[in-house]
C-alpha cells in the first residue's frame, strides 16, 4: 500500500496528524494549480477550500486512482467554482479584453534584469487568465505541471480526446493573445 493510502486510512480513523502530512505532501502542487487557474492572490483560498473538501470526502476515496489525481480533481473543481463565482463575465468574453488590455504593469518599463524578468512573468500570467477556464486548466496541467494526458482526463473528468482538443485550442488562443501583446514574444507565424 502506498504512503498516501496509509495516510488516508489513518485520517479516516481520526488521526489529524496524518491529514496534516497529506496536506504537507501535496500542498505545493495544489497551490501551484490553484494559483495558475485563479491567480496568485486567491490561490490560498482555493487551495484551502480544496483540502477541506477532500478532508470531508475522504470516505468516498476508493483508492482506484492515485491520491494526487483525486485531490487535483477536487482542486480543479474548487478553482473552476471560484472562477465562476468571481466574475460575471465568462472567460471566453475576456479574451479580447485581456488581449487589448494594457494593465498598469504593461506600461511600466523597469530597467533592472530581475524586475524585467518579473514583469515578463506577470504579463504571461495575466495573458493566461484570458483563456477559458477549462482550456487554462488543461494547459496548466500539461504544459506547466507536465502531467500525462490520462491523469489530466481523470482530473478534469473528460475523455482523452477532449483533453487533447482543449490543449490544442488553449495553446492556439494563448499564442494569439501573446501576438496581440505590445511585448514581442518572438512567436513565429
Which residues 59-88 are close enough to bind other proteins by CB under 8 A? none
Q: Which of 1, 13, 56, 109 binds other proteins (CB under 8 A)?
A: 56
| Cβ-proximal residues to 94 (8 Å cutoff; 6+ apart), any chain | 87, 129, 130
Asked if 186 touches other proteins (CB under 8 A), the answer is: yes
Q: What x-and-dash track marks residues 18-47 binding other proteins by CB under 8 A?
A: -xx--xx--xx-xxx--xx---x--xx--x
Asked if 116 touches other proteins (CB under 8 A), the answer is: no
> Minimum distance from CB of 76 to other proteins (Å)?
17
Give the position of cell 489513518.
Answer: 10
CA proximity to 46, closest of 143, 54, 92? 54
Where do the H-state alpha helices sit in 87-159?
91-100, 104-107, 113-128, 133-139, 149-156
- The residue count of the chain comes to 189
> Minimum distance from CB of 140 to other proteins (Å)?
9
CA distance 136 to 45: 19
Question: Pseudo-torsion of CA 78, 79, 85, 86, nearest 10°?
Answer: 150
CA distance 15 to 136: 36
Q: What x-and-dash track marks residues 138-167 binding other proteins by CB under 8 A?
A: -----xx-xxxx------------------
Q: Which of 3, 6, 16, 110 binds other proteins (CB under 8 A)?
A: 16
Q: Which is nearer to other proteins, 27 or 180 (CB)?
A: 27
CA distance 32 to 11: 24
Q: Which is nearer to other proteins, 3 or 90 (CB)?
A: 3
Which positions lie near other proteins, rule CB under 8 A? Answer: 16, 19-20, 23-24, 27-28, 30-32, 35-36, 40, 43-44, 47-48, 51-52, 55-56, 117, 120-121, 124-125, 128, 143-144, 146-149, 171, 174-175, 178, 185-189
Amino acid at each position: 500500500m502506498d504512503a498516501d493510502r496509509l495516510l488516508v486510512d489513518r485520517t479516516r480513523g481520526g488521526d489529524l496528524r496524518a491529514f496534516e502530512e497529506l496536506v504537507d505532501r501535496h500542498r505545493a502542487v495544489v497551490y501551484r494549480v490553484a494559483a495558475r487557474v485563479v491567480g496568485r492572490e486567491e490561490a490560498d483560498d482555493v487551495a484551502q477550500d480544496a483540502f477541506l473538501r477532500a478532508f470531508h470526502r475522504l470516505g468516498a476515496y476508493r483508492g482506484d486512482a492515485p491520491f494526487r489525481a483525486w485531490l487535483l480533481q477536487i482542486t480543479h473543481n474548487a478553482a473552476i467554482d471560484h472562477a465562476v463565482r468571481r466574475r460575471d463575465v465568462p472567460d471566453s468574453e475576456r479574451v479580447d479584453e485581456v488581449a487589448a488590455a494594457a494593465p498598469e504593469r504593461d506600461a511600466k518599463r523597469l530597467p533592472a534584469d530581475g524586475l524585467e524578468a518579473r514583469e515578463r512573468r506577470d504579463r504571461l500570467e495575466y495573458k493566461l487568465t484570458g483563456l477559458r477556464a477549462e482550456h487554462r486548466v488543461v494547459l496548466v496541467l500539461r504544459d506547466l505541471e507536465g502531467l500525462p494526458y490520462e491523469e489530466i482526463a481523470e482530473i478534469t473528468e473528460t475523455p482523452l480526446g477532449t483533453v487533447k482538443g482543449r490543449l490544442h485550442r488553449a495553446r492556439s488562443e494563448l499564442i494569439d493573445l501573446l501576438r496581440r501583446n505590445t511585448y514581442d514574444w518572438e512567436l513565429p507565424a
